[in-house]
């Protein structure tokens, strides 16, 4: 398998999951400005949507969308328990988190990474991110280590990556200490450290 990624982007989530699972894979960096890969290939021929991540499977199939990729990967090794059993309530809870992360929190950061966005749009985006952070702060206030309780799943690295954008955007975690502690805790995992190092961030 080959993961197409860009440092600091949401592609870090499947990168972490690949390392958690111990699956063999290659990395290919994508320049998001030029849409060229590190080998000089036209990334739009890999993923016409134009953004990362994209996962090239061994048979040449291309899978896109981070939430779909990490679910596919975890299902390759169900014994790792990175996803709960199909049909169970915990599995539905996992999907609940993944959908909320991808459709709400991930999207909310958009204006903060858009240089041309007006200042009022960025202020509103920061407020919206804070409102969404409130949800996770409350969820984690019961002392759970992970989103589903005491079991680490693919939702955790996804939240780690997206919530981690609070630092470069200046939002920080002062108002959300439980979420901040969660990000720090996930960041200590061996697979996370390895992925960050491989992408030049640790």
Category of 65 on φ-ψ map: left (φ > 0), alpha (ψ -120 to 50) or beta: left
pLDDT digits (tens, 9 = 90+) for 97-144: 999 999 999 999 999 998 888 999 999 999 999 999 999 999 999 999
Residue with tokens 């975690």: 173
Distance of CA 34 to the CA centre of its chain: 23
% of the chain surpassing 70 pLDDT: 99
- The domain 84-190 having CATH identifier 1.10.1040.10: the answer here is no
pLDDT at 13 over 80: yes
Fold observed for domain 2-79+191-198: Glutaredoxin (3.40.30)
- Which part of the chain is CATH 3.40.30.10? 2-79+191-198
Strand 26-31 with 62-64, pairing: unpaired
Residue 201 binned pLDDT confidence (cut-offs 50, 70, 90): low
- Which part of the chain is CATH 1.20.1050.10? 84-190
Q: In the structure encoding, which two tokens stand for residue 22, read together?
A: 């111990």
Each residue of 8-19: b (16+ CB within 10 Å) or e? bbbbbbbbbbbb
pLDDT at 82 over 80: yes
CA angle 168–173–174, rounded 5-degree value: 125
pTM of the model: 0.96
pLDDT at 159 over 80: yes
Distance of CA 49 to the CA centre of its chain: 18
CA distance 81 to 64: 22
pLDDT at 178 over 60: yes
pLDDT at 202 over 70: no
Q: Is the dihedral of CA 39, 42, 46, 48 positive or negative?
A: positive
Q: What are phi and psi of 28, to 5 degrees?
A: -135, 120
Residue with tokens 């920080």: 172
Q: Give yes or no for a cis peptide into 149 (omega within 30° of 0).
A: no
Query: Quick one: average pLDDT of 7-36?
Result: 97
User: So what's the pLDDT on residue 121?
Assistant: 93
CA distance 49 to 65: 10
């Amino acid at each position: 398998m080959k993961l197409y990624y860009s440092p600091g982007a949401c592609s870090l989530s499947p990168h972490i999951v690949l390392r958690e699972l111990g699956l063999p894979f290659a990395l290919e960096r994508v320049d998001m400005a030029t849409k060229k890969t590190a080998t000089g290939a036209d990334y739009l021929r890999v993923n016409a949507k134009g953004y990362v991540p994209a996962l090239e499977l061994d048979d040449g199939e291309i899978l896109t969308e981070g939430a779909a990729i990490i679910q596919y990967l975890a299902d390759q090794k169900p014994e790792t328990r990175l996803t709960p059993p199909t049909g169970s309530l915990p599995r539905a809870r996992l999907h609940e988190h993944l959908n909320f992360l991808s459709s709400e929190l991930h999207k909310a950061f958009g204006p903060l990474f858009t240089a041309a966005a007006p200042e009022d749009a960025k202020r509103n985006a920061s407020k919206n991110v804070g409102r969404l952070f409130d949800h996770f702060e409350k969820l984690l206030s019961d002392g759970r280590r992970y989103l589903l309780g005491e079991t680490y799943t693919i939702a955790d690295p996804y939240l780690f990556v997206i919530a981690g954008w609070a630092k470069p955007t200046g939002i920080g975690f002062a108002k959300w200490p439980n979420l901040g502690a969660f990000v720090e805790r996930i960041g200590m995992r061996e697979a996370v450290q390895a992925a960050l190092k491989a992408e030049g961030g640790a």
